[in-house]
Amino acid sequence: MGKDSRRKGIEWRAAGWMARHPAMTTAPAVLGTSMVEFGPVTTASVLAGVGAAGLSWYRGHPATFDRHAAPWMRAFRQRWVRYIGRRWRGLMIDCEFGRENRRTGHVEVPRLLRVRSASPSIDTLYIKPLRGQSFKRFQDAQDELAMALRADALGVTKVKPGVIALTVVRGNPFTDIVAPAEIPADAADVDLSAIYMGEDEHGNDWTEPFIGGKHLLVCGATGSGKDSLIWNPLRAMGPAIRDGLVQVDFLDLKGGMTAGSHRQFFHRYADDPDEGLKVIEAFRDDMKATQRHLAAEGLRNFTVSRETPFRLLMIDELAMMTALGSSGTTRAAIKLMAEVMTQGRAPGFGLCAYVQEPTKDIVPVRDLFTGRVCLRTTAENHPDMVLGEGMRQRGALADEIPADDEHAGIGFRVDKYTRRPVRVRAGYATDEDISELVRTCTPDPASQSNVIQFRRDEDTDEDEQAA
């Protein structure tokens, strides 16, 4: 046999392993050097100091620890416990990804390059297939891989030539229904920069900002729980709506099924696309009037008040307005929405849209939505369309969420600091919770007309001057 028939020597393989895992190699070296140079007491004190700092971070600021340190520590633990060399090798061989090298007789398996752990229940494994193993082969073996990895859901994504990501989701962190948003006692308790939507998988409150140019897009297949993300924010803003500090216009384009019996709760309400267009147009006109008012007062930003309330336009079943209506209506609606979303921040005008399919023809202004939530979807490419490129690979397997009540209201959002997908569940607002909101927080129509009075006067003055 020639020289190719032998495997590389163990010292060369060890050197290769050390080069691929520099942190694992340098840590003992640094520790040893420190022991020799500074002595065991100093080294132990430094280690104890680092440990104490980590512990006080863990206990003192759980939110930042969970966001920044925990994923890194989890990934490290998973890599060196769950997916450690021999186990990984066994798993690949069991799923028939091992291959005997005919020259050396050694069984080779795809190499595990990196483990990332976006949350306690989501791992992404980056692997380098053996030469000749195709992406399709991994796709075809999805069920076997899921069983071997004990995954509830598994996604296979091509990252770049020669690298494949296996996204592994285990368990359902939401075993219980999440309570809906409390209706605050007073408008002063409403914080429009952190409106309660539900919980994240760490058990923390999940909030979304509504002011500051935030426009929310919620995507989810039929029955995924989109209604919860309509009624939770409204409950969380309830007293501010009652007191005229927030005004909500609502397009109920599923024929009035969502809020038809509560239309008095809204400032403007429409349940068909033609009427809907008039509401969007009036919303845009109000925005223009507020811009003129603020400019006349020398103000660059609105402050929430009865004179300049925060204005919210909610569109349930956006497709009816942007794709399924007559072409004149859809074109006009898209243009008006774009105008509101690009100019609404300073005068305090926000938009929330709810949609089943996030494709470009249905949500042509997708990039203008600054907040995104992806509930259960029907297609593999929807999570990336909603949350951004690569988010499914990083864990947002929204298309793998089972279509049953146990999983309704569950979805993904992206953490704005780490750009990692986070599993969330919306608080579940029952019919009684909705009735409670409408009963206690419907604004008095007389006080509402006072709120927008100044704009009508200004418009009239301007019209008269123009005449």
Ligand X SMILES: Nc1ncnc2c1ncn2[C@@H]1O[C@H](COP(=O)(O)OP(=O)(O)OP(=O)(O)O)[C@@H](O)[C@H]1O
If binding means CB under 6 A, how many residues of this protein chain bind ligand X?
A: 14
Mutual orientation of helices 273-296 and 327-343 as an angle, nearest 10°? Answer: 30
Is 238 annotated as contributing to ligand binding?
Answer: no
Residue closest to ligand X, measured at CB: 409
**Annotated binding residue 226:** yes
What does the alpha-carbon distance between residue 231 and residue 400 come to, in Å, rounded to a whole number? 25
Cβ of residue 317: shortest distance to ligand X, in angstroms?
7
Distances (CA, A) of 154 to 91, 140, 148, 174, 385: 15, 12, 11, 18, 19
**Cα separations in angstroms, 349 against 168, 196, 256, 300, 417:** 40, 19, 23, 14, 25
Does 227 appear as a known binding residue? yes
Stretch that binds ligand X, among 37-45, 164-172, 290-298, 402-410 (CB under 6 A): 402-410
Residue of the chain from 225, 239, 244, 411 that contacts ligand X (CB under 6 A)? 225
Q: Smaller CB distance to ligand X: residue 240 or 410?
A: 410
Rounded Cα distance, 456 and 307, in Å:
12
Residues 403-432 binding ligand X (CB under 6 A) are: 405, 408-409, 426, 428
φ and ψ of 410, to 5 deg:
-95, 140
Give CA–CA dist 342/324, Å, rounded: 24
Confirm whether residue 305 is marked as ligand binding. no
Which SS3 state, helix, strand or coil, does residue 273 take? helix
x/- mask, ligand X, residues 128-167, rule CB under 6 A, reads: ----------------------------------------
Are the beta carbons of 236 and 184 closer than 8 angstroms? yes
Using DSSP, state whether 103 is helix, strand or coil: coil
Specify the residue, 146 or 353, whose C-beta has the smaller distance to ligand X: 353
223 is an interface residue for ligand X by CB under 6 A: yes
Name the residue nearer to ligand X (CB basis): 125 or 408: 408
Stretch that binds ligand X, among 40-48, 118-126, 132-140, 217-225 (CB under 6 A): 217-225
Whole-number minimum distance, CB 361 to ligand X, in Å?
A: 19
Contact residue for ligand X among 157, 224, 329, 377 (CB under 6 A): 224
Least distance to ligand X, CB of residue 274, Å: 21
Tell me if 222 is assigned to a ligand binding site: yes
**195-221 burial code (b ≥16 CB/10 A, e <16):** bbbbbbbbeeebbbbbbebbbbbbbbb
Task: Tell me, letter by letter, the H, E, C secondary structure of 318-368.
Answer: CHHHHCCCCHHHHHHHHHHHHHHHHHCCCCCEEEEEEECCCCCCCCCCHHH
Beta bridge partners of 112: 127
Q: Which is nearer to ligand X, 115 or 219 (CB)?
A: 219
Which CB atom, from 177 or from 332, has the smaller least distance to ligand X? Answer: 177
8 marked as part of a ligand binding site: no
Minimum CB separation of residue 394 from ligand X in Å reads: 24
**Least separation in angstroms between CB 431 and ligand X:** 10
- Residue span binding ligand X (CB under 6 A) among the ranges 16-24, 225-233, 303-311, 394-402: 225-233
Binding characters for ligand X, 269-288, by CB under 6 A (x = yes): --------------------
- Which three-class secondary structure state does DSSP give residue 74? helix
- 217, 359 Cβ separation under 8 angstroms: no
308 closest CA partner among 319, 295, 324, 321 = 295
Name beta bridge partners: 249.
Answer: 268, 313
Residue with Cβ nearer ligand X (50 or 403): 403
Measured from the CB atom, is 202 or 407 closer to ligand X?
A: 407
Choices 12-20, 138-146, 215-223, 324-332 (CB under 6 A): range interacting with ligand X: 215-223
Q: Which residues are annotated as a binding site for ATP?
A: 220-227
Q: Which residues are annotated as a binding site?
A: 220-227
Residues within the interface to ligand X (CB under 6 A): 177, 220, 222-228, 405, 408-409, 426, 428
